[in-house]
Structures are given as structure tokens and as C-alpha cells.
Structure 1
Amino acid sequence: MNDDQLLRYSRHLLLKEVDLAGQERLARARVLVVGCGGLGAAAVPYLAAAGVGELWLADDDAVELSNLQRQVAYGEADLGRPKVDAARDAVRRIDPAVKLRTFAERLDEARLVALAREVDVLLDCSDNYPTRQALNRAALAARRPVVVGAAVRFDGQLLVVDPRRAGTPCYHCLFGGSEASDGACATFGVFSPLVGVIGAQQALEALKLIIGIGDAPIGRLISYDALSGAWRELGFGRDPECASCAPYARMDQP
């Protein structure tokens, strides 16, 4: 680490839980962010600023005027551009040294599995149930942790799935079934700073996983009510009949 990097990350280096070893882990890390909307636009800048060495960004959408109310990584000059391109430029403004790979497409499950095997952590910043289930299955297949976030109206949610830890539940254990909906922003609305709160939390949990510090909310659904300012926690366990993770649990048995 050169002098400029020591200065850039000095506030991290002052933390004994991070220190030089932790910062070097971040520099070697590769993170896949699926979804560059409200949550992704909040999480990605923090991942870049914190020193994550390589970011892979996936989103098939373009920046629209209605996005600018909450997707603060973008501006009017980005209207009509692919979100991955606008997010890439936002990262480059923060730190040109960050390596970037972008996917302006909706990744199918086979592609998600292949990419998951090449990264250290996944961030689920998507806004639809099928993608979340596919990303959960990809994380299980690749044995990579995934940090899941959701935000609609005034309500946010966060949880972590880490298949590396035996006996822990997955996203499908809690949200099973073939259909579900958190509600579309265009239909139900979303309070502007809420996506920042949850997206920043996703970045925080990803950094902790990379460095290997603290406790991740595994088997715990963290909910945030922006109107009351209250955080709540719901514990849940592995479903022994889960269609997503039960087959892997059986494979792990001696």
C-alpha cells in the first residue's frame, strides 16, 4: 500500500478490527452487485470508497427521471443511459483505481451461478422476487454469501445468506413459494432516504464479510420502519424441506 492509499484509508486503518490486513482484504475482493437502482446506487459508492478492489455491476435498466428522487448516484446528465454505465462513472469519480465489469442485461440463473463462483460476495439489490430466488440459488450453488436488501414505501428489510456456514437458512427458507411481491415503486412509492439506509447497510455487511469481522444477520430478518425509526428483528431457521438449500444440506452430511 503506497502513501496515498495509506492516507485515503487512514480512518479504516485506525480501526483495530480493520487495520492494514483488513484493508488489504478489501483491495483483493471482488463483489457482484445485482441491481443498480435505489439500493445499488446507495451501496456501490460505499463499496468503492471503502476500497473494494473490483466491482461487477449488473442491471438491464436505464436511468429515468423518476429514478432521480432516490437514486442519488445519478443526475440529469445520466437520463437514458444504462444504469450500469452511470454507476460505473460514479465509481470512477470516487476512485479510478477500482476495477469494473458491467452487465447491461438481466442475468439468467446459469449466468448468475457462473459469475457467483468468481466473486467473494454478492449483493442482491434487485427489485423482483424471481431474481432474488435465482440469486439465492446461485449463492448456494457457488457457496458465496449474499446480502439481500429490500425497500418499499417506508419499510426496509435486510438479511444475509451465507452457505459457507453449515446449518444456516437461505432466502427461500423464509420467503418460499412460487410468487411474492414487495410492491413496485411505481405503484406504491418509496421514501427517498430509505433506499440509502438499506443500501448502505448492505455495503456495510458486505465489507464485514470480506474483512471477517462482526456478526452478520444470518437467520435474522432485520426490518426498518422509517416512520417510527424502529429496527426490528425476526429470527428464522432452516427449512428441512427447502427446495433451494435442503439438497446442499444433504450433500454436506457425512
Structure 2
Amino acid sequence: MITQRNSSAETSNTITINASENATANVTISNVNIDTSGAAVSTGGKGNVNIELDGTNTLKSGRYHAGLEKSQDGKLTITDENANGKLIATGGDYGAGIGGDDQGNGKNITITGGEITATGGSHGAGIGGGYYGNGNDITITGGKVTATGGNGAAGIGGGNYKDGNDINIAGGKVTATGGDYGAGIGGGNQGNGKNITITGGEVTAAGGTNGAGIGGGLRKEGEKITVSGDATLKVQGGLTDEWDGAGAGIGNG
């Protein structure tokens, strides 16, 4: 377990989690409060990382970095088995809230529980890619998740100019809001949103200006979007501007 003795005071100390190939690193973070010019928490290596949340954990990273920066090749799983965990992850400019750094992809990310607020810096997704980074293979099965993209990025999915594909929501309460020109769930500005499946949970998705609620960012496509099961859905496409039309609720930007 990684804990901070006085979590009411911010620290600039950072956490790095390395997972070896064919191995899983299991780490609990408890009441940490990090504000740094680098990455507050970063993962590395070729294995899988499981992060269990206890208490309130605040991660604020500097420019070019994600709040919780996923750099390892395997899967990142965020859990809250004791139902007492909260994560507030804020990326610096060009970084995602949870996922990729500047020009970094945010992929193979699973959230099973916890109260999670993920906010991308300018050009970064709330959960997914940093600037010029795709957001792929993102799964949410539980918890209360609020994801807000920075300018040009999706709430959940692609960073500015990139795609958000293979996104699955099967449970939890999920609110995703795109920055200008990005989808709520799907592509960032001029990025596609494809293979998005919602089978459960309560999902609210709003596109930024010109972006779809679920699907493509500005001028791009939303394809193979499926809603089924007991999912409840509220979607809103982004507004028009003087150059381009409004985004679809579900579909194209």
C-alpha cells in the first residue's frame, strides 16, 4: 500500500509502478495528494497493473503528462473492492486525465469501481489518448465515472486529432463530456469513433462543438455503435458553429 501521512497537504513526490512481462503489479493507493510538474502516477514495463483505490486520491500532473499516466504494454485496471475509494486525476496540457501523455495512446484501460473524476488537459481526453494519441480498448464495468476532455479531445476516447475505438461500457454511472470538436465518447477533433458498445449502466454523453455525443469528432465518422441490454442512455451532440454543423447524438461529428 502507498499512503500519504498528511493528505491535506500536496506533495510533489511521484509514484512509478513497473510491471514485468507476464506479471501483474498490484498496488493500493490510499489518500495521496500529488501535484507535480511531471506525471503524478505513471506505469511502465510489459506487464499488467492493478490499482486499488482507498480513500481520496488526487493526482495533478504537469504539462505533457497524464494525471494517471499509462505507459506499460499490458492492461491497467482500476478497482475499488472496499467501496471507499475516490480518484481525481487531472492531466497537464497535452495529457489525458487517465491514459496517454503528449502523443501517447491510452489503451487497455479497465475501470471496475470507485468514484473517478478524470479531466484531460488541453488536447487530452478525460480517459484515453493524450494529444495526437488514440484511445482504444477502454472498458468500464462499475463505479461512478466522470470524464471530461480538454479542447479538441473526447471525454472518453481519442485525444486531439485521433480516434477512440473499441470502447465498452457494461455498468456503473458514466458521464462523458467532449471538449470543443471532440465526441463525448469516441473520437477527438477529426477523429473517428468506432466499435463502441454499451450493454449496461447509466450513461450520459455530450459532444463538444461539432462533435457527436457518441461517435466521431468534428467531420469524422461514428460506426458500429451498439446499445443493448439494460443500459440507460442520455446523449447530446455538440452545437454548430459558423463553419460546421452540429454533431449527431449518436453517429458522425
Common fold by TM > 0.5? no
Q: Which has the higher contact order (CA 8 A, sep 6+)?
A: 1
The structure with the largest alpha-carbon Rg is 1
Question: In which range does the TM-score fall when normalised by the shorter chain?
Answer: under 0.3
Greater share of helix residues, 1 or 2?
Answer: 1
Taking structure 2 as the reference length, the TM-score comes to 0.27
Greater share of strand residues, 1 or 2?
Answer: 2
Taking structure 1 as the reference length, the TM-score comes to 0.26
